[in-house]
Structure 1
Amino acid sequence: MKFTKNIALTIGLLLILWSCSVDENTPQGNSVPQDLEYRETLNIPYGNNPEQTFDLYLPAHRTLNTKVVILVHGGGWTSGDKSDMNGFKDYLKSQFPDLAVANMNYRLANENTPPYPMQIHDITKVVNHLTSKQSTYVIGDEFGFIGASAGAHLSMLWSYAHNTNSNITMVANLVGPTNFTDDAYLNNSSPELQKMLTLYGEPATTAYLQEVSPYHQVTALAPPTIMFYGGQDPLVPTSQGTAMRDKLNALNVVHEFTLYENEGHGWTGQNLLDTMNKLSVFIDTHL
């Protein structure tokens, strides 16, 4: 799914990036220096697979209350890379210099290795790693997700069904699938859509498709959720967004929903600016 690359490249052109010094020293134990410098560490391993790495960007003057945004890339569960989310990473660093950002890779699925529960386990490992090293990195234990396409699906599913410690304060969904039992998927002959369903089991039972669908896993305890969809998206039917909106509304979960009627699986220009403005307000409010 190409949304991530499109939006990342466009955001990159819009930003005037700020420069910071890199601190190679990691604070140890419970002693927190008062004047920590900006620090970034790339390709931190969180498992034994080469794909299980993430990049961590820690702000200057951080504390044990510093919030963390976790970025989850798209790519149809079978491709993509954390570098696809660099536009979001740069945007967050420039607009929210007090936030920490973790940009993660996860193990990619193939015909022999389904995405679920493997990729959900990878998100759990990243959250557990960050939580266990809270005093080392000097960060808090509250997190937000920003996911694009397949990464939005994973972000929502984890936040709704696997957030056992209730430490996710918000999730942002950009063109993410939400319901694999939707007739718009099941009755669609598009090769792309059928390939996606095959990843989740062939033949897939209704119970299994419900288990991997944020729409069927969400409860009234879900974190605030913001969603963006394109009305002409060839990969993610509009009903994936509108039904999720209606479900969140019925559960009284705080949420926002934007549908760009003439956009596809990603957009640029004024609508992209609108997306980022709304996302910024949402982060300000809920993270």
Structure 2
Amino acid sequence: MKAIKLLLLTIVLVSLSFSCSKESTDTPEQGLNPSEYYQELNVSYGPDRDQKFDVYLPKNRNRSTKVMILVHGGGWSAGDKADMNGFKDIIRQDVSDVAIVNINYRLADDDRNPYPMQIDDITSIINHLKENQDYYVISDDFGFIGVSAGAHLSLLWSYAFDPGNNVKMVCSIVGPTNFTDPAYLNTTDPNIRALMDLYGTAASTQFLEEVSPYHRVTATAPPTILFYGGKDPLIPTTQGTAMRSRLQQLGVTHEFTLYENAGHGWIGLELLDTWSKLKVFTQTHL
């Protein structure tokens, strides 16, 4: 996880300074002025303390302004939207006409399983954004960038829980895709086993398929871009290569990058390559 944090801290290529307060003076009754930049932190979308998101809206936006949703990692049981601030900052710099929603979701613990709870949270966020389109002055076209567990959730929601086909692109950075992969089912690694056990110590094959993007993807899936590390101790390489093959079989637009010597995150030239590819993919498909 340290590598992922390093990824998120170093992805900002230059130092940026942005206010943490609302820059618009409009009231909720009036709606927002689309000619002005607006941000709001910790918007509640449910009663739980983790059901909050940050929203960043570009100036000069309209009802065609696309929305990028950022989904943090942390093994479904940890992490915070602050971990994705590096992505938020670089998007604001390089893809400045896109609205950004950086989300928290309820974390799994001994009493709460990640599924369907976290998928339900994403659905609530999407519904909130749709219901408040006029207020925010945004479109109902969405993209996802997820890291690790957040990438799994991004893929799963985009493939199986988007009946309106509102998701126009999805990015997985080191995200699990297939819980029926023998590399997972037969593992003796205690760290991987602990992650798998969040989905049930005796989960059926049918259930594991239900929570696997690999098994839920269809030919109508949105364009997908995948990044994986060849030496990732938590995400077997087959999680990426099998997903790539499945997308190829279905004819889904996709890109795939495997950094052979990288682990669960990367820095330097590989990091620059990730953002370069993701930026172009976002500008093309979102």
Aligned partner letter, 1:23: S
- 1:159–1:168 CA contact under 8 A, matched in 2: yes
Task: Decide whether aligned partners of structure 1 residues 284 and 252 sit closer, same or farther in structure 2, where only a CA change above 3 A counts.
Answer: same
Offset at residue 32 of structure 1 (A): 7.5
Unaligned runs of 5+ in 2: none
The answer for the alignment partner of 2:50 in structure 1 is 51
The answer for the alignment partner of 1:6 in structure 2 is 6
1:202 aligns with 2:201: yes
Offset at residue 16 of structure 1 (A): 3.8
Cα distance in 2 for partners of 1:150, 1:189 equals 20
Cα distance in 2 for partners of 1:28, 1:257 equals 45
Offset at residue 17 of structure 1 (A): 2.2
**TM-score where L is the length of structure 1:** 0.96
Q: Secondary structure of 1:265's partner? A: coil
Cα distance in 2 for partners of 1:131, 1:2 equals 35
Unaligned runs of 5+ in 1: none
Offset at residue 282 of structure 1 (A): 0.1
Cα distance in 2 for partners of 1:3, 1:118 equals 27
Offset at residue 202 of structure 1 (A): 1.6
Cα distance in 2 for partners of 1:206, 1:253 equals 25
The answer for the alignment partner of 1:276 in structure 2 is 275
Cα distance in 2 for partners of 1:11, 1:195 equals 29
Residues 85-130 of structure 1 show CA distances to partners (whole Å, capped at 9, x for unaligned) of: 0000001000111110000000000122110000000000000000
Residues 210-246 of structure 1 show CA distances to partners (whole Å, capped at 9, x for unaligned) of: 0000000000000000000000000000000000000
Residues 118-163 of structure 1 show CA distances to partners (whole Å, capped at 9, x for unaligned) of: 0000000000000100000111110000000000000000000000
Aligned partner letter, 1:241: G
Aligned partner letter, 2:154: S
- 1:41–1:56 CA contact under 8 A, matched in 2: yes
Task: Decide whether aligned partners of structure 1 residues 2 and 132 sit closer, same or farther in structure 2, where only a CA change above 3 A counts.
Answer: farther
Offset at residue 11 of structure 1 (A): 1.5
**Between Structure 1 and Structure 2, how many residues are aligned?**
284
1:76 aligns with 2:75: yes
Offset at residue 18 of structure 1 (A): 5.9
The answer for the alignment partner of 2:24 in structure 1 is 23
- Where in structure 2 are the equivalents of 1:1-287 lying within 5 Å? 1-12=1-12, 14-17=13-16, 19=18, 22-26=23-27, 28=29, 33=33, 36-287=35-286
Q: Secondary structure of 2:11's partner? A: helix
Cα distance in 2 for partners of 1:240, 1:28 equals 47
Task: Decide whether aligned partners of structure 1 residues 101 and 32 sit closer, same or farther in structure 2, where only a CA change above 3 A counts.
Answer: closer
Aligned partner letter, 1:10: T
| RMSD value, Cα | 1.5
Q: Which runs of 4+ in 1 moved over 6 A?
A: none
Aligned partner letter, 1:22: E
- 2:32–2:136 CA contact under 8 A, matched in 1: no
Cα distance in 2 for partners of 1:248, 1:255 equals 7
Offset at residue 2 of structure 1 (A): 4.1
Cα distance in 1 for partners of 2:124, 2:61 equals 23
Q: Secondary structure of 2:143's partner? A: strand
Q: Secondary structure of 2:169's partner? A: strand
Cα distance in 2 for partners of 1:32, 1:51 equals 25
**Once the two structures are aligned, what percentage of the paired residues are identical?**
58
- 1:3–1:148 CA contact under 8 A, matched in 2: no
Offset at residue 25 of structure 1 (A): 1.7
Aligned partner letter, 2:105: Y
**TM-score where L is the length of structure 2:** 0.96
- 2:73–2:149 CA contact under 8 A, matched in 1: yes
Aligned partner letter, 2:25: E
Q: Secondary structure of 1:247's partner? A: helix
